Amino acid sequence: MSATPASLRDEFPLLAATPQLHYLDSAATSQIHRMALDAVVRHETTRRANVSRGTYRLAEAADLAYEQARQTAARFLNATSADEVIFTSGATASLNLVAHAFGGTLKAGDRVVISLAEHHSNFVPWQMLRERTGIELALIPVTTSGQLDLTSLPELIDSKCRLVAVTQCSNVTGAWTDVATLVAAARKVGAKVLLDGAQAVQHGPQDVRALGIDFYAFSGHKCFGPGGVGVLWGRGELLAAMPPFLAGGGMISEVTPQATTWATPPQRFEAGTPPIAQAVGLAAALEWMMSLDWPQIHAREARLCERLIEGLLRIPGLRLLGPEAQEARAPIVSFEIPGLHPHDICQVLDAHQLALRGGHHCAQPLLAALGAEVCTRASIALYNDEADIAALLDGLGFVLRELA
Amino acid sequence: MNDSNALYQDAIKQFAQAAHGHGQLAAATGEAKLDNPLCGDRVRMQVEVASGHIAAVAHETKGCLLCRAAASAIGARAVGQDEAAIESVATALENMLKNETPVPAGWPELSMFEPARAYPSRHRCVLLPFRALLAALTESRR
């Protein structure tokens, strides 16, 4: 398949309806693909029923659609089994699930290693676990370009370390994590590895087996699917040994007045009615993604990223956050312009039909480590094109004239 | 197309740049630090209250133009007022932004924020310095 950004753009209802919009905030939320939207509507209008509960034909159809969605997510991740795929409400819920359920198997003095580059959703749950159980929380520092400084690993990942939980790709700098080095260090001491894939999934299918990791978390709304759904993948034997996180219907084997026994995974971790139609919509988005020519898309995204960075660096005083080398970063570009606040920058850009995010991006420890408090971020996805980049660079010219 | 031109009128830029009241007080009777978690705006507001009225006010504001302009307006106008008057202005300003009511009486410069009515996410930028001032006044009473 050799779709162009223009033809891809037409596949996204919101973008097709607003040709003047330059949407450069896909790191926050990607636009939903028509197939995902259609799948949600089709499910809700033809198969809407609760799952794992009813025996009537409509409920059976809902069951089938939901479990097929699980199988699709497993293929997207190259998981060994669909039973290793848990549907959640999003990456944040997936990360909290691991912090509670796997975290519940840890004891005081065990070490969890995260990094300074984490989104708050992979930072705060571990701080809370530390408060609850007395685990030791250690931080991998970052280099001046925002990449994880792996020279610290020998001190941090030793026999006390039980889990390394890090981002696969920074939501601020776009820096890719050297997963192979982290996994090798963790394996030496028997520690498990969790990857926060929230920013990685919109740049293509993943292979959790090749990555050699133990847990993987992502959100549907960041990979062209609906909101309100996410995935936690975990190795089967780890999930089987973990206690539940949330309790309720659907996650039990038997409840008696005296005690309750748990269902096997993945149902053990899906208390209550899951996001059924959203999971079906997400599966449609993932199926579509698996049909794409990703090397071609990556080359195009990298070209746009390079063109954007070249243009930004021509702005006097502008400070770019993140790695200089293209291959070290996803197409997420954050920057500071001295004297101009990101909210003012984004407000002026909005008047020029440009959608960007400004602020701390839920990554205050990373920004502090980089010597910044807030920044402006442009994030590029497969539907962006040269016109979006040109509009942003022109728009920043307006910003400088209007605000400076 | 260029709606932001209306928002970023000269008055806001001038007030932000003037930064009336920027600094610290040597004899503050009350102080408050407030953040806007959405964008990272941060205001440290100090007051010196004597006989129930603001004798001096100072602030250190890190934030967007709207936040800085609002803090500057406080620096220019708050001295001599009492807590009830500040509370009344803050309420009137919030109403002006949310309900399109008139500009707070006695603070005509706050009309510079009228174009911000169209941007609800920015209301908190304008209101943050006033909330910080009220918190500092509460602190001063303790």
Q: Could you read off the pLDDT of A139-174 as tens digits, one per residue?
A: 999 999 999 999 999 999 999 999 999 999 999 999
Q: Do A341 and B5 make contact, defined as CB atoms within 8 angstroms?
A: no
Residues within 8 A of B (CB atoms), A 315-354 only? 341-344, 347-348, 350-353
Mean pLDDT confidence for A6-29:
95
Q: Do B63 and A373 make contact, defined as CB atoms within 8 angstroms?
A: no
DSSP A236-285: HHHHHHSPPSS-STTSEEEE-SS-EEEPPTTGGG--SS--HHHHHHHHHH
Which of A2, A16, A4, A103 shows the shortest CA–CA distance to A304? A4
Any idea which residue has 């040597």 for tokens?
A: B26
| Option in A347, A359, A403 nearest B119 (CB) | A347
Q: Do A403 and B39 make contact, defined as CB atoms within 8 angstroms?
A: no
| Option in A350, A351, A359 nearest B40 (CB) | A359
Q: Do B122 and A358 make contact, defined as CB atoms within 8 angstroms?
A: no
DSSP A363-383: -HHHHHHTT-S-EEEEE--TT
Q: What is the CA radius of gyration of chain B?
A: 14
The amino acid present at B33, given as its one-letter code, is K
Is A362 one of the catalytic residues?
A: yes
Asked if residues A192 and A157 have their Cβ atoms less than 8 Å apart, the reply is: no
| Option in B1, B8, B40 nearest A360 (CB) | B40
Which of A315, A293, A322, A300 shows the shortest CA–CA distance to A380? A300
**Confidence bin at A326 (pLDDT 50/70/90):** confident
- Using CA atoms, how far apart are residues A150 and A157, in angstroms rounded to an integer? 10
Structure letter (DSSP) for residue A136 = E
| A46 pLDDT more than 60 | yes
Asked if residues A167 and A118 have their Cβ atoms less than 8 Å apart, the reply is: yes
Q: Which domains does chain A have, with CATH numbers?
A: 5-24+293-403 (3.90.1150.10), 37-290 (3.40.640.10)
Q: Which residues of chain B have pLDDT under 50?
A: 1-2
The residue in chain A having the minimum alpha-carbon distance to the alpha carbon of residue B42 is A373
Show residues of chain B in contact with A341, CB under 8 Å: 39, 63-65
Mean pLDDT confidence for A182-200:
98
* Percent of all residues in chain A with a pLDDT value above 70, rounded to a whole number: 99
| Option in B2, B62, B65 nearest A351 (CB) | B2
Q: Which domains does chain B have, with CATH numbers?
A: 3-141 (3.90.1010.10)
- Using CA atoms, how far apart are residues A92 and A338, in angstroms rounded to an integer? 33
Q: Do A347 and B39 make contact, defined as CB atoms within 8 angstroms?
A: no
- Interface predicted TM-score of the whole assembly (ipTM), two decimals: 0.87
| A312 pLDDT more than 60 | yes
| A56 pLDDT more than 90 | yes
The residue in chain B having the minimum alpha-carbon distance to the alpha carbon of residue A358 is B39
Closest CA–CA distance from residue A306 to any residue of chain B (Å)? 27
**Confidence bin at A307 (pLDDT 50/70/90):** very high
Structure letter (DSSP) for residue A50 = -
The structure tokens listed for B122 are: 């920015």
**Confidence bin at A325 (pLDDT 50/70/90):** confident
Q: Give the distance from CA A106 to its chain's centroid.
A: 25
* pLDDT for res A53: 83
Q: Do A351 and B1 make contact, defined as CB atoms within 8 angstroms?
A: yes
Q: What are phi and psi of A150, to 5 degrees?
A: -80, 0
The residue in chain A having the minimum alpha-carbon distance to the alpha carbon of residue B121 is A343
Q: Do A343 and B4 make contact, defined as CB atoms within 8 angstroms?
A: no
- Using CA atoms, how far apart are residues A218 and A202, in angstroms rounded to an integer? 10
Q: Give the distance from CA A250 to its chain's centroid.
A: 26
Strands, E, within B8-112: which ranges? 30-36, 41-50, 53-62
Mean pLDDT confidence for A238-262:
93
- Using CA atoms, how far apart are residues A92 and A218, in angstroms rounded to an integer? 8
| A227 pLDDT more than 60 | yes
The structure tokens listed for A193 are: 């590895």
- Using CA atoms, how far apart are residues B94 and B117, in angstroms rounded to an integer? 10
Which of A336, A344, A361 to mutate to test binding with chain B, by most B CBs within 10 Å of its CB?
Answer: A344
Average pLDDT value for chain A: 96
Show residues of chain B in contact with A352, CB under 8 Å: 1-2
Structure letter (DSSP) for residue A396 = H
Q: Which residues contact B73 (CB under 8 A, 6 or more apart)?
A: B15, B20, B107, B109, B110, B129
Alpha helices in A134-259 (DSSP H): 153-156, 179-189, 208-211, 236-241
Asked if residues A52 and A205 have their Cβ atoms less than 8 Å apart, the reply is: no
| Option in A350, A352, A374 nearest B39 (CB) | A374
Show residues of chain A in contact with B8, CB under 8 Å: 344, 347-348, 402-403
The residue in chain A having the minimum alpha-carbon distance to the alpha carbon of residue B66 is A344
Show residues of chain A in contact with B41, CB under 8 Å: 343
Task: Tally helices (H) and strands (E) across chain B.
Answer: 5, 3
- Using CA atoms, how far apart are residues A243 and A403, in angstroms rounded to an integer? 54
